[in-house]
Amino acid sequence: DVMEEELTCPICLEVFAEPHMLCCGHNFCRSCLDVVLRKQEETGDYKCPECAWAFQEKPSPKRNFKLASIVERYEASQRSSEEGRPALSCDYCTGAAAKTCLKCESSFCAAHLRPHLEKPSLRLHCLVEPSGQLGGLKCAEHDDVYKLFCSDCERCVCTFCTVDSPHRGHDIKSFKGAQQDLRGWLEGRRQELGQRLALCQGRAEQQLRQEEQVKAVQEFQAQLESCVEQEEQEAVAELQRSAAQTQGQRDILTELHTSMEELLSERDPFHCIQVSRAEEGESEGSEMGSNENPNTSTAQAVENRKPSSVCYLRCQQHLEAFTEKSQELLRVLQGLKLRRRGLCWEVQVEKAGNWAVGVAYQGLPRKGWDNDCLLGYNADSWCLYSLFDGLKAWHNNRQAAPRLAGHVQRVRVLLDCDEGTLSFYSARPQPALLHTYTARFSQVLCPAFWVGPGTRLTLHKVT
């Protein structure tokens, strides 16, 4: 009936036994659900047997107490109805019938059934379970018991049906023979379905292996693309650095070429000689000698000879390209002798670390570890140190705390030889004074730098 269909487990097709519910809302017997989950645990693919809802992890079914109560009441009502139904009685007494004879069309209790079991003439009668409805077991046309099966018409027939049309000449078999044929056909179908099931299982496993291979290829492709992208970025960055260095050299050469053209176009012999001697004196030490190791010169600098009180340092070159382990502690630029009034330049800290920026007399030794060689530790050098993100101003082995603390990304150095002042500024985001030294500079000054391991400084002109 309808109630029994609603209370039937979709797996075993029986009335629920200990019904448990999944989070998708479907109910199953506890034992049936355990079997299904154990099979799904081998593949890790958990799905609802009815709606195929996929679960991310093994579900934890909950007992449906309300449905279990309904099942118990339904089974109790079924038992009471079966117990209240009157049993089929014997046609010859009031006892309960044990068998029904289709030939005699009568039901017999155990005592009255004994003649059918003992007499040879009655042993041939067809005995079945007690039944009060014999119409479905007898031929309606000949009023005889069904004893045979017509394979052509696929229906039960009696003995008289085999000699009358329309079953004359058909393949007639006994019930036992028909049952054996049916069992053989079912067994063949079962084997065929088993083969198809095994084939589907093999295909599913092959598809799973292919999915794993595709996933591995996709992961390898992603790693390869990441490596290629990283190499490309590094190559582009290197090209950009090389282009910047080339452009800086080009600007320097252009400036020199322009100065030479202006000098060649000078018609006043006296002025030409004076300017030429001045240029020769100022460029002394800025050009690299033919016997000098290129790596011992840290940069080349050129002064902009515009009629202004400020001269710009034209240098934008990475110091790390000229770093030598033997001279790693101290680099003094020989490219520019600071003789003019109001010189200004900036240093960009490209890679944070330990560094020093300042000025020093030209005769300051560049090698060694004593105070005479270290920036700020003697009377011939003034500098701003950044050690472990801490700023200190040093001169003559004395330190002073700057006005601002913390990391500085860009340092501006302003030197006024006439006024005798050397000032350090934090150039970004807004210029802020860090420290100022007042001294009487008696010798030629040069920009000085110290670059620690893993640090990179870049010189920039002030615009």
Please report, for the domain that includes residue 41, its CATH number: 3.30.40.10
Would residue 91 count as lying in a domain? Answer: no
- Do 104 and 80 fall into the same domain? no
pLDDT in tens, the chain (463 residues): 677 888 889 888 888 889 999 999 999 999 899 999 988 988 888 999 889 889 989 999 999 998 888 888 888 777 766 555 556 788 888 788 888 887 787 888 888 888 888 888 887 787 877 776 665 667 777 767 777 888 878 788 887 777 766 777 788 888 778 888 888 888 888 899 889 989 998 999 999 999 999 999 999 999 999 999 999 999 999 999 889 888 888 887 887 788 778 767 766 554 444 444 444 444 333 333 333 333 333 333 333 333 333 333 333 333 333 344 334 333 434 344 454 457 888 999 887 778 999 999 988 887 777 888 889 999 999 999 998 768 899 999 999 999 887 788 899 999 988 888 999 999 887 889 999 999 998 888 889 988 888 888 888 877 6
| pLDDT for 159 | 74
Would residue 439 count as lying in a domain? Answer: yes
Which pair of tokens denotes residue 331? Answer: 């680099």
| pLDDT for 341 | 55
- Do 359 and 422 fall into the same domain? yes
> What residues contact 448, with CB distance under 8 A and at least 6 apart?
330, 331, 332, 333, 356, 357, 358, 359, 360, 364, 375, 381, 383
- Do 302 and 448 fall into the same domain? yes
Query: Domain range spanning residue 125?
Result: 99-177
Counted domains in the chain: 3
d(CA 198, CA 211): 20
| pLDDT for 214 | 94
Would residue 290 count as lying in a domain? Answer: no
Contact 18, 36 (CB under 8 A): no
- Do 452 and 315 fall into the same domain? yes
- Do 62 and 115 fall into the same domain? no
- Do 121 and 6 fall into the same domain? no
Would residue 429 count as lying in a domain? Answer: yes
| pLDDT for 377 | 92
- Do 70 and 149 fall into the same domain? no
Greatest C-alpha distance within the chain? 161
- Do 453 and 356 fall into the same domain? yes
* pTM flag (> 0.75): no
Domain end point (choices 25, 53, 84): 84
Domain end point (choices 147, 177, 207): 177
C-alpha closest to that of 28 among 46, 42, 1, 7: 7
Q: Is the dihedral of CA 8, 10, 14, 18 positive or negative?
A: negative
- Do 60 and 157 fall into the same domain? no
- Do 431 and 393 fall into the same domain? yes
Would residue 203 count as lying in a domain? Answer: no
Token look-up 């600071």 returns: 338
Would residue 235 count as lying in a domain? Answer: no
Would residue 259 count as lying in a domain? Answer: no
- Do 40 and 149 fall into the same domain? no
Instruction: Say which CATH number the domain at 119 has.
Output: 3.30.160.60
Instruction: Say which CATH number the domain at 354 has.
Output: 2.60.120.920
- Do 317 and 394 fall into the same domain? yes
Domain end point (choices 148, 177, 206): 177
d(CA 161, CA 310): 130
> What are φ and ψ of residue 450, in 5° steps?
-130, 125
> What residues contact 310, with CB distance under 8 A and at least 6 apart?
342, 343, 344, 462
d(CA 115, CA 123): 8
Q: Is 376 helix (H, G, I), strand (E, B) or coil?
A: coil
Beta pairing class for 343-351 and 311-312: parallel
Would residue 219 count as lying in a domain? Answer: no
